[in-house]
Amino acid sequence: MVGLLIAIAIFDLKFHRIPNIAVALVVVLDLVLGAAPNNFSILLFLIPASGLAWRYLRIGGGDIKLFCAILVFVLPRDLFSDYAFNFLLCAIALMLIYIVRGATLKIAIPLAPAISGGYLLSIFT
């Protein structure tokens, strides 16, 4: 799972997109490994929140699908708060890197590194 998430993050950094097949591989790999329980109850919150994030915050569809796949299928329920903190930490670091490099926040920032990084930090800490 770690290698797949790192590959998705690198692909998103390079091409600013996350292929649907990559998100499907995350879900299938987790189902095959049976690493975490499915958190389908969170879908009641994620579906409307995802629609609003896509519409008003201009978060890409691939980022939303990867985020939902990690929250529903991959992440154990007891790590939700750790993941939220680590995701925000990684997202802020990513934005700061883009600002230091001279970009404005009006450009599309690939969020897969923050989504994957938040998960990896949650699991390994």
**CA dist list (Å): 76 to 63, 65, 72:** 20, 18, 9
DSSP 110: P
C-beta neighbour count of 22 within 10 angstroms: 20
If pLDDT is split at 50, 70 and 90, which confidence band does 1 have?
confident
| Percentage, residues of the chain above pLDDT 90 | 37
Which residue type, as a one-letter code, is found at position 20? N
* Interval 6-45: pLDDT, tens: 999 999 999 999 999 999 999 898 888 876 667 777 778 8
